[in-house]
Amino acid sequence: MLSVSGIHKSFGGVQALADAALDCASGEVIGLIGPNGAGKSTLVNVISGFLAPDAGQVVLDGALLQGRTPQHISASGIARTFQNLRVFRDLTVRQNIEVASLRARQLRRDGPPMLGVDALLETFGLADRMSDAAGALPYGTRRWMEIARAMATGPRILLLDEPAAGLNDEESDRLHQIITRLRDLTRIGVVVIDHDLTFINNVCDRLFVMDQGRLIASGAPAAVWRNPKVIEVYVGPGTGTGATPAVELGG
């Protein structure tokens, strides 16, 4: 399981993360939400090794990972996707996923259950397009491929950075099904960042709400949305306790 605690990170004089935290057990889907600038992406960059935190711990199954390189963290079992899809455009869909599976096949022969390249193509509905160049895929399909590629590294934790951005309702539903299916098949933990709160409420078991670099609430979605601090951040100050925020309608 992933446990992140006490993360501080400043850029110059700006404190981007102040005591940020989250945790995600295997087989769990958690959502990381908060207004723009809350520090969600910074936290994901710290967890995946793109940024070294000033203080705090990132622990995956007992191993300390903070400050390690992205390569090391990826090999340790944390995979991520990017807001801007970084696919290998010249390679076919199948080859994109194959590249990602190379190292995992060597590293984790007897690790947690892993989906093979064919199973991933099937799960993500990419089988009939597997010979197409990845650069030629429509946006939505490219996104499936990027998630499939992250899964091919055989992760224990999958970080999805705005996976629903740019997807239509139908594709969002499909993303929901895919995340649930992946979780059920492999028992990985999934951390989802997204602005689509309907999607987040539907797919996540627990939510972590950030504001100004701090964790302000966490727990089951229904409880989180009753939290006055969360209401204040999302609906505005002075709304008071007990009000039903508009966003909850989506859940």
Partner 1 sequence: MTEYLIQQLLNALAFGAEYALIALGLAVVFSIMGLVNFAHGEVIAASAYAALLFAGLGLGAPLLVIGLAIAAAIAVSVTLERVAFRPVRNAPVTTGLLTAFGVSIVLQNLFQLLISPRPQAFPALNGLNATWHIGPWAVSSLQVMELVVALLAMLALGGFLGRSSLGIAMRAASRDFATVRLMGIQANRVVAAAFVISGALAGIACVFILARRGGVTPDMGFSLVLKAFVACVIGGFGSLFGAAAGGMLLGFIEVGLLVLLPQEMGGLKEALTYVIVTLILVYRPEGLFGSRRDLGDKEF
What is the spatial distance between Cα 7 and Cα 127, in angstroms, rounded to a whole number?
41
Residue 41: partners with Cβ closer than 8 Å, 6 or more residues away: 83, 161, 193
SS3 195: coil
* Among 15, 67, 68, 88, contact with partner 1 (rule: CB under 8 A): 88
Contact between 68 and partner 1 per CB under 8 A = no
Sheet holding 63-64, edge to edge: 14-24, 2-11, 55-60, 63-64
When the beta carbons of 34 and 155 are compared against partner 1, the nearer one is 155
Contact between 186 and partner 1 per CB under 8 A = no
> Helices in 62-168 by DSSP H: which ranges?
70-76, 93-107, 117-123, 139-152
* Among 21, 104, 120, 157, contact with partner 1 (rule: CB under 8 A): 104
Contact between 45 and partner 1 per CB under 8 A = yes
Contact between 82 and partner 1 per CB under 8 A = yes
* Among 9, 40, 142, 149, contact with partner 1 (rule: CB under 8 A): 149
Least distance to partner 1, CB of residue 243, Å:
36
Do the beta carbons of residue 207 and residue 31 sit within 8 Å?
Answer: yes
Contact between 142 and partner 1 per CB under 8 A = no
- The CA-CA-CA angle for residues 147, 153, 154, to 5°, reads 100
Residues that bind partner 1 (CB under 8 A): 41, 45, 50, 70-71, 74-75, 80, 82, 84, 86, 88-91, 95-96, 98-100, 102-104, 107, 149, 152-153
